[in-house]
Structure 1
Amino acid sequence: MARKLRGLLRKLVWLACFGIVGYLDAAPASADQPVQFESATLKPTPFQERNAQQNGQVIKAVSGTPLNGYLTRPLGEGPFPAIVLLHGCAGVLSNDKQTWPERLSSWGYVVLVVDSFSTRGIHETCDRSLLADRVYDAYGALEFLSKYSFVDPQRIALMGFSAGGIATLEAVQLGGAEQLMERKFKAAIAYYPRCSLANGDMAVPTLILAGELDDFSPAQECRAMMKQRSGKGSSVQLNVYPGARHAFDAPEFKNGIEAYGHRVEYNAAAADQSTSDVRAFLKEVFGG
């Protein structure tokens, strides 16, 4: 009798441990779970390779840069669609790390916030030229996310804010870096980017959101970009919000500030409408 009881106890303990392990494996990541990955390897283009061969040279791929990030996922096993999120020139703010990840995960999306600055020793880039490497940060994040069993690798979008919005447009611009990458984003969302740096021809469906009064990333530049588009590639939608300034969706700027000679200010009406527009866009692109 004692032997049977000991055997039953061992079985119950084993089942309990198995259940705990299974639960931990399926448990959702917290909204600020830190992760580490690398930016995409920079491979030479066919033209660069041919040119090097003609000159008797060998051109090698440039290894990726180690990066930090923050992962958020919905409850459940998935697989879920996912969003790679790129912060602005001031680094990862609460709008990037909390507001949008919590919102997107409540809609059923996995979110990976890419921190392009900390491992590079950068605090901000608002008063300098753009960091071109951020395009490859985005594709490194895409590769990293695609390996998770709870992510649907065929439904991953890129989303960026301000300087991150510029990098977003550059990452999916037709004939640009996207043609060098094996994995592709399926959609792109750019909040208040400098549209003058893009030609408007995108490889994937793209949504651009701009404030009418933005003097940091003027809406007029985005309108001009839309007019000059060749019509090649995927659809591009531009939404301009009346009375809205730069960072109109970021609650941390409710009082408004002057930054580098520009006004940065939250606008509740524009924030709410743009949130609805983003959700509708993602639903149209990914379904569900």
Structure 2
Amino acid sequence: MKFFQFLLCLTVSLFILPQAQADELVHFDSAVVKPSPFLERKAKEQGEVPPVPQATPLIGYLTRPQGDGPFPAVVLMHGCGGIHPHVRDVWPERLVSWGYVTLVVDSFTTRNIENSCKTYLPDRVFDAYGALDFLTKSGFVDASRVALMGFSAGGIATLEATKIEGNEQFMDEKFKAAVAYYPVCAPHESDATVPTLILNGDLDDWSPAERCRQRIANLSGKGPPVELHIYPGARHDFDDEAMTKPKTVFGHVEEYNAAAAEQSIASVQAFLKAYVGK
């Protein structure tokens, strides 16, 4: 009898415990920059039609906690090699357990791109804002509490999307915070528009930590806070458990580092809680 009572209690508890809803394939468009009033007026004066910007159809993977919300959210941008499992599955599961909706943006499939490791794809900034626009219209996301988080090339896009004098100024919706894992920093870039967390390994030969140190040193001190965490002994992809054995990709070493991963995850959780809230 006690055994059956135990089973009954276990079954009930499984239904009561909050569960993340399974990820869903969603479709949305990249954001576009509309012609400025000056360009529209100039075209009209010259009897021309201003060019109409074309959005790029995109797909993404949406995961959210149970309930109606509204929830805070995180848009995730993958690296130059495409969507790896730690971005596609591990980070969304982790973030949802913290109470965030997640949307992993696939920048390659609809563009028929295999990778962008030898080139830079500036359109990814607009992908991020297209994802933000999708989330703000979902009905279950708090539009004032959405962070942008990117890995490697996705980290570059994250920093580009949240810099002063960047394309953010042309967007109606804004991100609340930004997290960039092992990006290639632009040392002389302008200030950030939102609180930003940058995470690098000191042995990263793909995304040198020194460039991010220079970026921090060149900030005006008048913008939102930008935190830089550099982990000793850590290489590129240090948070990806699939890289337990070092792997050379395009001449660069990628390797999981348990200590750096654990510390960075704790830093991300604290950072999001402070600036996005949960």
TM-score by length of 1: 0.86
Q: Which residue of 1 aligns with 2:26?
A: 35
Over the aligned positions, Cα root-mean-square deviation in angstroms equals 1.7
Partner residue, 2:94: 103
The farther-off stretch of 197-206 and 59-68 is 197-206
The correspondence for 1:195, drawn from 182, 185, 189, is: 185
Cα separation, 2, equivalents of 1:168 and 1:61: 26
Larger radius of gyration between Structure 1 and Structure 2: 1
Following the alignment from structure 1 to structure 2, what is the Cα–Cα distance between the partners of residues 243 and 47?
52
Q: Identify if the C-alpha distance between structure 1 residues 52 and 237 changes in structure 2 by more than 3 Å, giving closer, same or farther.
A: farther
Amino acid at match of 1:146: T
Equivalent residues of 2:147, 2:276 under 8 A apart: no
* Aligned residue identity for 1:90: G
Give the Å deviation of 1:153: 0.9
In structure 1, distance between residues paired with 2:233 and 2:52? 46
**Structure 2 vs 1, CA of residues 265 and 48 (structure 1 numbering), >3 Å: closer, same or farther?**
farther
> AA paired with 1:119?
T
Deviation at 1:51, TM superposition (A): 5.8
Q: What SS does structure 1 have at the residue aligned with 2:65?
A: coil
2:56 aligned partner, one-letter code: T
Task: Quote the Cα distance in structure 1 between the aligned partners of 2:49 and 2:226.
Answer: 39
Q: Would you say 1:235 and 2:225 are equivalent positions?
A: yes
The equivalent residue for 2:198 is 208
Structure 2 unaligned spans of 5+: 1-18
In 1, the alpha carbon distance for the partners of 2:38 and 2:219 equals 26
Structure 2 residue aligned with 1:74: 65
**Which letter maps to 1:285?**
Y
TM-score calculated relative to the size of structure 2: 0.89
Name the SS of the counterpart of 1:30 in structure 2: strand
Over 3 Å counting, the alpha-carbon distance change for 1:249 and 1:79 in structure 2 is: same
Secondary structure of the residue that 1:195 maps to in structure 2?
coil
How many Å apart are 1:197 and its aligned residue?
Answer: 6.6
Alignment counterpart, residue 49 of structure 2, candidates 58, 67, 84: 58
Structure 1 match to 2:165: 175
Q: Is the 8 A contact 1:157 1:185 kept in 2?
A: yes
Select which of 124, 127, 138 maps to 1:137. 127
Once the two structures are superposed, residues 233-267 of structure 1 have per-residue CA deviations (whole angstroms, 9 ceiling, x without a partner) of 21111111111000100111111101111101110
Which deviations, in whole Å up to 9, do the C-alpha atoms of 1:23-80 show, x marking residues without a partner? xxxx96313x111111012323456446656765432331211001000101222111
Which residue among 249, 262, 268 is the counterpart of 2:258? Answer: 268
> Given the alignment of the two structures, is residue 153 of structure 1 paired with residue 147 of structure 2, yes or no?
no
Alpha carbons 2:71, 2:99 under 8 Å: kept: yes
In structure 2, how many angstroms separate the alpha carbons of the residues matched to 1:155 and 1:174? 20
Q: Tell me how far 1:287 sits from its aligned partner.
A: 2.9
Give, in whole Å, the separation in 2 of the partners of 1:202 and 1:221: 16
- For residues 139-186 of structure 1, give each alpha carbon's deviation from its aligned partner in whole angstroms, at most 9, with x where no partner exists: 000000111122111100100000000000000101210000000001
The number of aligned residues is 260
* Residue number among 78, 85, 92 corresponding to 2:76 in the alignment: 85
More helix by share: 1
Q: Distance in 2 between matches of 1:90 and 1:197?
A: 24
Aligned amino acid, residue 180 of structure 1: F
CA contact (8 A) 2:82 2:115 kept: yes
Which 10-residue stretch deviates more, 166-175 or 223-232? 223-232
Aligned letter for 1:30? A
1:252 and 2:245 are equivalent in the alignment: no
Gaps of 5+ in 1: 1-26
SS in 2 for 1:29: strand
Correspondent of 2:209 among 204, 219, 229 = 219
In structure 2, C-alpha distance between the alignment counterparts of 1:30 and 1:211, rounded to whole Å: 32
